Amino acid sequence: MSGVVVVDDDRALARALAINLRAHGYEVNLAHDGRTALTEVTRTRPAVVVLDLGLPDLDGIEVLTDIRCWSAVPVIVLSARSSSAEKVQALDAGADDYVTKPFSMDELLARIRASVRRGTPPPSAEMDAVTTPDFTIDLTGHRVHRGGNTVRLTPTEWSLLEMLVRHSGKLVPQRKILTDIWGPASAEQTHYLRVYLAQLRRKLEPDPAHPRYLITEPGLGYRFLP
């Protein structure tokens, strides 16, 4: 049974979430402030954390940052804060997904299921290859094969593709990609990403104008969908 820690100071909402999640087979622990949340995540080692940002003692971003110091547990932010800047801040701090209140319970359940799947370790410690209907990515050999041919990628194109593939299904924030590949001084150079994503799509996508694998989340980041 997968465990979920729900962190929200709205006790009625937290109880309603717990009832729904338990009805779908999850083991649920509740926390109504940041310090209790950190204790519960440490104690229960859940499969997913659902985290509100507006907590009475610590800001949710502080809680998220603290969790990320020692755990890779998937964290879904569930918040009334809906501006792009606030979403980017949460994703940059390590959130895996962001759901805005008010929300659909079915959508939240779907996102929790997806987070549980992504958070399940693969049979081997290291992913060796990813195969799609259109191409194969050999992560060990640093090669991409399409239609029986090797696709020539520049070192930067490979670094970008590898980062997205190793976070398969997850939204990878623009700032993380830029700082990891080009360095902290390039954190605002979003045009780099547009240029290199366009190049990768031309080389890999069946229809680059309508990407199937390399997905843009406008203003937030990018996602690889195998």
For position 120, what pLDDT does the model report? 58
Which strand (E) or helix (H) includes residue 51?
strand 48-51
**Phi, psi dihedral angles at 126 (to 5 degrees):** -125, 130
Reply yes or no on whether the pLDDT at 125 is more than 50: no
**128: Cα separation from own chain's centroid:** 21
Residue with tokens 């109880």: 15
User: Higher pLDDT residue, 218 or 161?
Assistant: 161
Q: What angle do CA 221, 222, 225 make, to 5 degrees?
A: 155
Reply yes or no on whether the pLDDT at 124 is more than 50: no
Q: Average pLDDT over the chain, rounded to whole? A: 88
**CATH for the stretch 129-224:** 1.10.10.10
For position 42, what pLDDT does the model report? 87
**Phi, psi dihedral angles at 97 (to 5 degrees):** -160, 165
Q: Residue ranges per domain, the chain?
A: 3-119, 129-224
Pair of tokens at residue 89: 């801040």
Cα–Cα distance for residue pair 53/90, rounded to 1 Å: 9
For position 51, what pLDDT does the model report? 96
Q: Residue 50: which residues within 8 A CB-CB, separation 6 or more? A: 4, 5, 6, 7, 8, 17, 76, 78, 108, 112
* Mean pLDDT lowest among 2-6, 59-63, 216-220: 216-220
For position 73, what pLDDT does the model report? 86
Percent of the chain residues past pLDDT 90, beyond the cut: 47
Cα–Cα distance for residue pair 177/163, rounded to 1 Å: 8
Cα–Cα distance for residue pair 67/69, rounded to 1 Å: 5
Helix locations, 100-205, DSSP H: 105-119, 155-166, 174-182, 190-204
Alpha carbons within 13 angstroms on the beta-carbon side of residue 26 total: 23
Q: Does the 3-119 domain belong in CATH 3.40.50.1470?
A: no
For position 123, what pLDDT does the model report? 44
Which strand (E) or helix (H) includes residue 130?
strand 129-131
* Mean pLDDT lowest among 55-64, 87-96, 119-128: 119-128
What distance, in Å, lies between the first and last C-alpha atoms of the chain? 26
For position 144, what pLDDT does the model report? 95
| Neighbour tally for 206: CB within 10 Å | 13
Average pLDDT over residues 131-138: 94
| C-alpha dihedral sign at 73, 90, 58, 20 | negative
pLDDT tens for residues 142-156?
899 998 899 998 888
